[in-house]
Amino acid sequence: MHPAYSVIVFTTASGAGYGLLIWLAIAAALNLVPHDPVLGFFGLGVALALITTGLLASTLHLGRPSRAWRALSQWKSSWLSREGIAAILTYVPAGALGLGWVFGEFVPGQIAAGAWLAVPCALGTVWCTGMIYASLPTIRAWDQPLVAPVYVVLALATGGVLLILLLAVFGYDVRWAAVVSALTLALGWFLKARYWLAIDTANKTYTAEAATGLGRFGTLRPLDPPHTQPNFVMREMGYQVARRHAEKLRRLSAVLLFVLPILAGLVLLLDLPSWMQIAVASLAALSTTAGVLTERWLFFAEAEHVVMLYYRGGAA
Amino acid sequence: MTSLPEATSKKLGLVIDLDTCVGCQACATSCKEWNAGGYSAPLTDQNPRGRDPHGTWLNRVHSYEVGDDAQSRTVHFPRSCLHCETPACVTVCPTGASYKRASDGIVLVNPDTCIGCKLCSWACPYGAREYDTDDGVMKKCTLCVDRIYNETFAPEDRVPACVRACPTGARHFGDLGDPESAVSQLVKEREGFDLLPEMGFKPVNKYLPPRARRDQTAASAPQAAEQAVDNSSSLADRFFAWADRSLAR
């Protein structure tokens, strides 16, 4: 599948934003961080900015962005529609939490209520993002039970790394965030490794012979293509990364997204001076960003679509 | 709207005969010609006379070779929307622009509400949908909805443009929900089949398989006999064998 930059930016940026929002909401509700208005302003500000940037980037993928509001109507059948609704709903408790944290509570319990409602809303939004892909049986690499869980865990992991940086910059205790992030990253690594194994060993049950119904005569070989230049179907669905490149990129993304940030989390458990904490947390955030962008690019580039059987023959 | 109708009164669709299709592309070009001015207008092309021309077409004709033995053959294979009974392209649509008509089962895109998210094209295993870059919306076969009900047309013209254009009569249009219809009878008689039935989208369009070759062993046996004559015998026999071969060319 063609890795569209707008969709990669959308899923990674809004994923990290929802992850950071979830951790800040939990921290606020459990009093793991002081209700410092400046921390709240910058923390939730970064989270909502990432979410909003991502959502705006996703509209760049549309042919008619001005009609995007129409996407909220078909929640009964469409995961894309559900995602849009969940994304907008999440702003309500996140706003209540943010306003209460920064300006003080207008109503008693506003922070706790906002925080505890923001968590399921944000989790639900990321789950819907994953399900957009996981609900497509035409793409074997996406039609996998681990796709949506990986989206959720990677959102929490990338948001967790941002939380460490935020706490380090504001001089608060980072150790609980380092532990939580390292554990989430480790879970993400485990699930992603299982996912890669699953798509490598999945049986390619759809064949060009079944796609054309001509298997009764033997093996099918494409002879003349229907058009001389690639059409929309081939450009959108025919993108394929070379196998050996994919393996290198998988290793690269595993190191950047999982290994280095987990090591950084362990280093941050030591008693480090503040500037060193900020430096380590910044490096971890940079590494995570590069790693998750690579991971998401691969998620598209490695996915083969059944329709290419008509063009390439073989199995998918 | 994106939810599917429980049942449709008719199941209008195409039956495509892979035995008689000669791959002439007349269905593809007539489709493009009609739809560039009809329901799907504009059906745009990009850089049509440049080095990398491409554009939106609703019907594509592949050519394949299949098999290695005596039954091997070249098969021309037109590919367009199959107007599935349970199409995923409709249910994934976030806006309701993609819909299946309860009256006749035609799957359409409303060009006024499509946002061009392209998710429907990802959901379709048949590559039936092509995004129109210039128009910013998805395009697909309409089964020539603007021809088949057009009472100003002569009755023989009230069929999809591809069916009207096919010079070998390899394309048939009708109600596949009615077991007595000509197309249903044809499917029954020729053992028409679905593409990728295991995906479960229940295509309405059917394909008719190429007919089996006639027995080739009978054709090759006389050759062996001629060889025998060649090897034996008199000048006259060899002359007649030569004449026979020459005339048979």
Consecutive 10-residue runs of chain B (249 residues): their mean pLDDT? Answer: 83 98 97 95 93 94 92 94 97 97 97 97 98 97 97 96 98 97 98 96 97 70 52 78 82
Instruction: State the CATH class of domain B12-208.
Output: alpha beta
- pLDDT above 60 (res A26): yes
Instruction: For residue A48, give the amino acid letter.
Output: L
Question: Residue A28 belongs to what domain range?
Answer: 5-312
Percent of chain B with pLDDT over 90: 78
The pLDDT value recorded for residue B237 is 85
Residue B137 has its nearest CB partner, among A63, A138, A212, at A63
State the number of CA atoms in the 13 A half-sphere of A272 facing the CB: 21
- pLDDT above 70 (res A168): yes
Phi-psi region of B193 (alpha: psi -120 to 50; beta: other; left: phi over 0): beta
Do the Cβ atoms of B71 and A218 come closer than 8 Å? yes
User: Closest residue of B to A65, CA-based?
Assistant: B115
The pLDDT value recorded for residue A247 is 94
Contact assignment for A67 to B135 by CB distance below 8 Å: no
Residue A78 has its nearest CB partner, among B79, B91, B130, at B91
Pick from B80, B89, B115 the residue to mutate for testing the A interface (most A CBs within 10 Å): B115
The pLDDT value recorded for residue B81 is 98
Residue A74 has its nearest CB partner, among B56, B62, B96, at B96
B135 has a chain A CB within 8 A of its CB: yes
The pLDDT value recorded for residue B233 is 72
CA nearest to B77, candidates A225, A269, A273: A225
Phi-psi region of A3 (alpha: psi -120 to 50; beta: other; left: phi over 0): beta
CA distance A282 to A274: 12
* Cβ neighbours for B106, distance < 8 A, ≥ 6 positions apart: B12, B83, B100, B142, B143, B145
What confidence tens digit (pLDDT) does each residue in B185-217 have? 999 999 999 999 999 999 999 999 999 887 766
Chain A segment 250-289 residues within 8 A of B by beta carbon are none
Distances (CA, A) of A285 to A22, A32, A279, B171: 17, 21, 10, 59
Q: How far is CA A218 from the centre of its chain?
A: 43
Contact assignment for A229 to B79 by CB distance below 8 Å: no
A137 has a chain B CB within 8 A of its CB: yes
CATH at A89: 1.20.1630.10
* Cβ neighbours for B109, distance < 8 A, ≥ 6 positions apart: B97, B98, B120, B129, B137, B138, B139, B140
Q: Which residues of A56-88 are buried (b: 16+ CB within 10 A; e: fewer)?
A: bbbbebbbbeebbebbbbbbebbbbbbbbbbbe
The pLDDT value recorded for residue B222 is 53
Look up the pTM and report it. Answer: 0.91
Average pLDDT over residues A11-37: 96
State the number of CA atoms in the 13 A half-sphere of B44 facing the CB: 11
Residue B198 gets which letter from DSSP?
A: G
The pLDDT value recorded for residue B213 is 81
What confidence tens digit (pLDDT) does each residue in A54-112 have? 999 999 899 999 999 999 999 999 999 999 999 999 999 999 999 999 999 999 999 99
Which residues of chain A neighbour B95 with C-beta distances below 8 Å? 67, 70-71, 73-74, 81
Q: Extract the runs of DSSP E, i.e. beta strands, from B171-236.
A: 171-175, 206-208
A67 has a chain B CB within 8 A of its CB: yes
Q: Which two tokens stand for residue B144?
A: 């020539």
* Cβ neighbours for A8, distance < 8 A, ≥ 6 positions apart: A293, A296, A297, A300
What confidence tens digit (pLDDT) does each residue in B64-95 have? 999 988 778 999 999 999 999 999 999 999 99
The pLDDT value recorded for residue B84 is 98
Q: Please state, rounded to an integer, the average pLDDT across all residues of chain B.
A: 92
Chain A segment 199-218 residues within 8 A of B by beta carbon are 205-206, 209-214, 216-218
Q: How many domains does chain A have?
A: 1
Handedness of CA B84, B86, B89, B94 (dihedral sign): positive
Chain B segment 46-85 residues within 8 A of A by beta carbon are 52-57, 60-69, 71-75, 77, 79
Do the Cβ atoms of B30 and B220 come closer than 8 Å? no
The pLDDT value recorded for residue B219 is 56
Instruction: For residue A170, give the amino acid letter.
Output: F
CA distance B190 to A206: 24
What confidence tens digit (pLDDT) does each residue in A207-249 have? 999 999 999 999 999 999 999 999 999 999 999 888 889 999 9
CA distance A192 to A168: 28
Residue A213 has its nearest CB partner, among B122, B124, B207, at B207
The pLDDT value recorded for residue B248 is 79
pLDDT band, very low/low/confident/very high, at A183 (cuts 50, 70, 90)? very high
Residue A233 has its nearest CB partner, among B65, B88, B127, at B127
The residue whose two tokens read 């993002």 is: A129
The domain spans of chain B are 12-208, 217-248
What confidence tens digit (pLDDT) does each residue in A242-268 have? 888 999 999 999 999 999 999 999 999
Q: Please state, rounded to an integer, the average pLDDT across all residues of chain A.
A: 96
Instruction: For residue B213, give the amino acid letter.
Output: R
Do the Cβ atoms of A307 and B126 come closer than 8 Å? yes
The pLDDT value recorded for residue A244 is 85
Strand partners, A152: none
CA nearest to A110, candidates A119, A121, A122, A101: A101
